[in-house]
Structure 1
Amino acid sequence: MREKLNTNQEVKRLFERCHAQLDEPSYIELDFLSLLVDVFRPKRKSLFFQVEITPLLDHLMEYPDDKRVFIAYMHRILGMKDFDQLISDAAIISYADFRYEIKKRFTEKYLPSQPPKTTLQYVLNQVFYHSKDADWVDAIPQEQLLDLFNICMFKSIYESEQNFEIKEILYGLEVLVQRITGRAMETDVNKMVPEFQNFDSPFIAIMREFSELNDRFLANNLRYMSSDDLAYKQILVLHKQCENYIETAFSNAHRFGISIKVNQSLLRIRHQLERIKEIISFLVIDEEEEQVPKSIAFAQTLIGYNCRKSNIRKLIGQSTQLLAYEITHHTAQTGEHYITSSKKEYWRMFRSACGGGVIVGIMCIIKLFLGKIETSEFGHALLYSTNYAIGFTAIYLFGATLATKQPAMTASALIAAIENGTSGQDVNRHKYWNFAIFFARLFRSQFIAFVGNVIMAFPISLALIWAIQEVFHFNAASGKWLTLVNDLNPTETPMVLHACIAGVFLFLSGIIAGSVSNRDKHNSVYYRIEEQPVLKKVFGKEKTARVARFYEKKWAGIVSNVWFGVFMGTTASVGMFLGLNLDIRHITFASGNLALGLFGHDMELSTDMWIWGILGIGIIGFFNFVVSFSLSLTLAFRSRNLSFGELIKMAKAVWIYFKMNPKSFFFPPQDH
């Protein structure tokens, strides 16, 4: 009650201060309207649904002079204002260039463009300039807006002079339809929908229908049509076909891949189709009583378009969801190979991980010697990156396993298991229970992969450093043994941070693999290699086809591992350049480095060093896994538009299953 009283007083003071200005026939400044809106604008989001304009209505009814000048003022500032661009442009992606759109919206948010003063958009920019203004305006009780409409003696958009509003609506719709048709017929969009290539394009058909409707409205000076109008019904049918076209293009992304440019084009067309459907509904009147409520709703709609035109979060969310899905779709397929089911697969994973441990042990020795080369930090970064890149690629091509590469791949496979479930209470329980079993398979696969990596990296590094001493009579690790050992001690170095950094790089390498796979699929690279005429003449069709198959199966993984090597090799040098203590800690390399530190100190380490060394390897592995898996799981959730409430249900199911059968999280089931 006190707030309402305060609002009444503010409205009264505002009219007293500005009455003289408002009474001037030439006064068209927006300052008064902007201040009036400020009076009612809620200070907090929680108050949005409590907004009432009763104080304004009461004041206008109580003070006839203020009412008279207010009516004249509102008619002056709102009369005959162009608004077609609000229909065709506001809050719709401008171009297929994602970066341009982000930059444009960011600029609009803090330094909005100001259209000519003859446009309604200029008025809205000056008055409803907060991004949330449309939300509280929509919450104003409808009967109060209707009272304000009548008090101000506004006419509905269907009975205005010279049919101005209807012409603006028709022109805005025509611009939208023309833009949609042109973009939908582009080759890069058409290739996503081969199902429609032998049929007449619904976009061309809807453009013809709109052109005929526009001509009919203008020729006959029509102001609206009924919902039974055949032209309106035909437009709705064609509109549905256009929507199906776009949805088919999106669903075909897993077959053909998708680029961010095509993704933005499809999103733009989808937004424009939504806009057309919403706006054309305002041209439909079945009962005379609908005219005023629809005019008010139309005004609220335009305010909403203008307020949301710089929404960056929604743009990023919509623009990245499909790309994230395609990237994680690739990693989900790859991740299935990292999850064991049977005892045979379990021990095959162990042998594969042992192979990865052997290669990492060799990489540890090579890195130790590369560190002794006198060169710049850039030189060391280049040498370390080359060592990592070649080693990781070798692990991949030889079919060996690097345990920490698994989480980034398997997270999407886990979400795919949830996604493939169906709804319903009983079925949901079954779905999450199946997920728990699936997670147990993943966990024991990770466990045995860690074991295989660690137990082989240690003896291989130890054996190689011993062999080097036997041949060259030189203990290469003696000068660096303390650093190698202390790097595993969280009380001596920021080991946890460095392990988390490695986890981030593991996640990024998975993203790169999915991105490359999606890009090559969209650009038909495999097919282009297979049908390259020069290659077929030089190597023959069969060998060229084998090259194409190798590229299809292996190239994304090779690029991913090379980049992972670059990330790992350059981190310390970049940290030194920035003056930050940045480095990486990886569980398998930690095992190899512990072996080198042991040998460097003549096979003698204190009990504390052994304890921290072994514990440090486990801690590093834990954070490698948790960070990469968490980031991948988050992306997988985002890509499939799943609620994070699902995560709680998943965790509960896993915990219950663990209490019932903890052994299954570490060891495979017995073969029957």
Structure 2
Amino acid sequence: MVTKTVIPPYRAIVDSKMHKVEKSMETVLQHHLQENGDEITLIAELVAKIRPPKSSQADHAEHMIGALCHILGRRPDLRAALRAALLKLLGTHKPVSLYVESGILPSTGFFTELYRRVSHKILPEAIDPQYLKDIFALVFTRHDGEVWVNAVPEARWLELLTELRFDEQAAETVLPLPVRGIMDAVRVLSYRISSIGLEPELIRNEPSLEEFASPFLTQNDEVGKYLEQFALAWEGSTLAFQDEKHIRVLLDQCAQIIQRIRRTASRSGTSISLTFLLQRLTQQLERMEYLLAILAALHEEKTGERARPLYVGLFKTLVSGECHKNDVRQHWRDSMELLALRVTENASRTGEHYITSTRSEYFALLKSAMGAGLIIAFMAMIKLFIAAQHLPPLTEALLFSLNYGLGFILIHILHFTIATKQPAMTASAIAASISEHGNSHDMENLTSIIAQTMRSQLAAILGNVLVVIPLAMLIAWGIMAATGAHFVAPEKAQHLMADIDPFHSLSVFYAAIAGVCLFLSGLIAGHHDNLAVYNRIPQRLKQLRWLKRLLGAARLARVADYVENNLGALAGNFYFGCMLGGVAAIGVVFGLPVDIRHITFSSAFLGFSLVGLDFAVEPQQLLVAALGIALIGLANLMVSFTLALSVAMKARKVTFAHWSTLLRSVGRRFGRKPREFLLPPKSQKGDELDAH
């Protein structure tokens, strides 16, 4: 049984205040009728009466529309005047630009559109009343107009259209101007879709557009025939009328090509321009199908009764588009979603390698993390040596950055794993899984992936920390044995211990800053992976004659393949090192309380400090240091993971409303199989097999 929205009769809610409002609206209509007023002024004044004091007060707008409906129902003269004003507004004020541009991405680039929106925010564009698009700015004067327009039930808007009684109009044999405006908009959209279908970047990613008849071009021919037949049929021609179904088939083929290009782009990379192009093309196809549906409804019934729900949907869409046409925040948000989609696809596939499902993978990750601990212990030693030289801040920051960046690159080349690099990658893989399973409520698969991720993360942390602390102590002891002096003086050791004290320092806040750096490095890695594939950098490297003479064809091929598979990781690691080395310098230069804390380096500093203090550390101080390292690690992981998961889900436009259900599922799994969160089973069975 289908439930319908029931709109209460207007008279059931009338009170004295509403009666005054009705009188004021009736006065506006009466004045327009007597003075033969301007249709723009009439519509603007009526919308001002309907508009609620606050956009959230949709009930007020609903009641105002009810009052207007009551007036129109009992005053045929006012009804005819308003109907004529609406038809004139839609027919004589060039509606095409409104239909084909509002709510659709512009053809300009990101920065050009950003500049336009900012400049028009400061100095609004001049209003040209010849265009219906500009008249919207006079009618909907507030940027939040879409809120109350969308909140008013569709049934109330339909009631208003019904009360206007368009069936009272004399039947027109000539095509009405408002209908011709919709037809012209369909024609323009068809031209624009054909133009985009010829874009070199589109053809490059879908070569079949050159080899076979392109639906982007074919649809334009069909649209031209359809519109010509529609005009003749409206005027009473007895010629056979071909409906719009064939055009819809062609538009579906265009949409399928877009999906193929997107799937190809997820494997072979994409560009910002291609991403924007596909998004704009998709929006244009959707708008064209919507306008064709309106024309089809009008062909079946000229009074427009069947098209009324479509009118309401189009009206809401156009109001939303016009209210946000200068919205800088929305432009930034939408653009960042497209950019995030571009850079997170590669991270998703990389993240799958950081999620272990078997014991062999688990112990391989553990050994890889232990190898990283070896390198980081020496990186921490070099960092302390550089700091002891008391160099100028910028010189010191440069050396810190090179130490971190080159060290992280070495770790990657040796196939070792830094624990905190995982979240930015695994978050994308989990977001991809939510996108695939979330709507089907397949919580078991998601729970299994989370369990695998948690134990993988634990293995990486243990591998890093359990090696870096004893090795740091061994290095400090070796230097002391060789030189007779502590590598870290007792005063410096106390300072290092204080730096990781969570109660008397900003160590957790600094760890959160490091988490942001980790997140950004994940985006940088995804960007460069995409860059290598889409711009065909490996193939271009192989074409360099001087490099081929220098390395030889076989060695150059191996170098090119390595660049294709590792450019993102190398760039992400190097830039991450630069961020870690530069944050403290930024704090010094600008006098800001910013620095970084990283769990693995903090563990190494703890090892150096213990030797520097000759292990004369009170148990309480040691416990506080251990707690500080644990909190630093937690902040590193949680901040980077949360940011990466948020961006990855936003990029895929995933809205997951079952977090509480997922948490309960994880809790039940942990209570039933706690070992699964610590160690993989001996063999892949059940959920583990399904999840992977």
TM-score using structure 1 length: 0.88
> Which position in structure 2 is the counterpart of 1:360?
376
**One-letter code of the match for 2:44?**
S
Mapping of residues 279-318 of structure 1, within 5 Å: 279-284=291-296, 285-288=298-301, 290-292=303-305, 294=307, 297-298=310-311, 301-302=314-315, 304-309=317-322, 310=324
Cα 1:93–1:108 shift into 2, 3 Å: farther
Among candidates 196, 199, 203, match of residue 212 of structure 2: 199
> Which position in structure 1 is the counterpart of 2:460?
449
Secondary structure of 1:565's counterpart equals helix
**One-letter code of the match for 2:224?**
S
Out of 403-412 and 634-643, give the one that drifted further.
Answer: 634-643
Deviation at 1:416, TM superposition (A): 4.1
Aligned equivalents of 2:355, 2:675: Cα separation in 1:
16
Aligned equivalents of 2:367, 2:236: Cα separation in 1:
75
**One-letter code of the match for 2:218?**
A
Aligned length: 663
> Which position in structure 1 is the counterpart of 2:131?
119
Cα 1:12–1:320 shift into 2, 3 Å: same
Matched-pair contact (CA < 8 Å) for 1:225–1:283: no
Matched-pair contact (CA < 8 Å) for 2:69–2:160: no
Mapping of residues 334-353 of structure 1, within 5 Å: 334-353=350-369
Deviation at 1:190, TM superposition (A): 1.3
> Which position in structure 2 is the counterpart of 1:581?
593
Secondary structure of 2:388's counterpart equals coil
Matched-pair contact (CA < 8 Å) for 1:176–1:276: yes
Aligned equivalents of 1:227, 1:98: Cα separation in 2:
48
Cα RMSD after superposing both structures: 3.4
Pair 1:597-2:609 in alignment: yes
> Which position in structure 2 is the counterpart of 1:464?
475
> Which position in structure 2 is the counterpart of 1:249?
261
Among candidates 140, 154, 159, match of residue 139 of structure 1: 154
Deviation at 1:231, TM superposition (A): 5.8
Aligned equivalents of 1:341, 1:647: Cα separation in 2:
23
Cα 1:215–1:288 shift into 2, 3 Å: closer
Cα 1:164–1:663 shift into 2, 3 Å: closer
**One-letter code of the match for 1:556?**
G
Matched-pair contact (CA < 8 Å) for 1:223–1:283: no
Cα 1:41–1:221 shift into 2, 3 Å: same
> Which position in structure 1 is the counterpart of 2:9?
none
Give CA-to-partner distance per residue, 1:243-273, whole Å, 9 cap, x none: 2222222222123211111011111111111
Give CA-to-partner distance per residue, 1:578-616, whole Å, 9 cap, x none: 332111111111111112222333432233321111111
Out of 116-125 and 208-217, give the one that drifted further.
Answer: 208-217
Deviation at 1:378, TM superposition (A): 1.8
Cα 1:436–1:88 shift into 2, 3 Å: closer
Out of 91-100 and 355-364, give the one that drifted further.
Answer: 91-100
Aligned equivalents of 2:283, 2:264: Cα separation in 1:
19
Matched-pair contact (CA < 8 Å) for 1:121–1:306: no
Secondary structure of 2:106's counterpart equals coil
Out of 209-218 and 170-179, give the one that drifted further.
Answer: 209-218
Mapping of residues 314-463 of structure 1, within 5 Å: 319-321=335-337, 323-419=339-435, 421=437, 428=441, 431-463=442-474
Pair 1:38-2:48 in alignment: yes
> Which position in structure 1 is the counterpart of 2:690?
none
Matched-pair contact (CA < 8 Å) for 1:86–1:302: no
Matched-pair contact (CA < 8 Å) for 1:571–1:583: yes
Cα 1:610–1:228 shift into 2, 3 Å: farther
Out of 336-345 and 350-359, give the one that drifted further.
Answer: 336-345
Matched-pair contact (CA < 8 Å) for 1:115–1:121: no
Secondary structure of 2:146's counterpart equals coil
Among candidates 280, 283, 290, match of residue 271 of structure 1: 283
Pair 1:262-2:278 in alignment: no
Matched-pair contact (CA < 8 Å) for 1:128–1:307: no
**One-letter code of the match for 1:174?**
R
Aligned equivalents of 2:313, 2:452: Cα separation in 1:
54
TM-score using structure 2 length: 0.86
Mapping of residues 32-181 of structure 1, within 5 Å: 32-42=42-52, 43-45=54-56, 47=58, 50-51=62-63, 53-59=65-71, 80-95=92-107, 97-105=109-117, 113-129=125-141, 130-136=145-151, 139=154, 141=156, 144-150=159-165, 155=169, 159=172, 163-181=176-194
> Which position in structure 1 is the counterpart of 2:8?
none
Matched-pair contact (CA < 8 Å) for 1:417–1:435: yes
Aligned equivalents of 1:169, 1:75: Cα separation in 2:
13
Cα 1:413–1:167 shift into 2, 3 Å: closer
Percent identity between the aligned chains?
30
Pair 1:504-2:516 in alignment: yes
Cα 1:286–1:557 shift into 2, 3 Å: same
> Which position in structure 1 is the counterpart of 2:531?
519
Among candidates 185, 188, 196, match of residue 201 of structure 2: 188
Deviation at 1:98, TM superposition (A): 2.8
Give CA-to-partner distance per residue, 1:382-401, whole Å, 9 cap, x none: 12111110111111111112
Mapping of residues 527-566 of structure 1, within 5 Å: 527-566=539-578
Aligned equivalents of 1:33, 1:671: Cα separation in 2:
71
Pair 1:209-2:222 in alignment: yes
Aligned equivalents of 2:682, 2:246: Cα separation in 1:
64
**One-letter code of the match for 2:381?**
I
**One-letter code of the match for 1:401?**
T
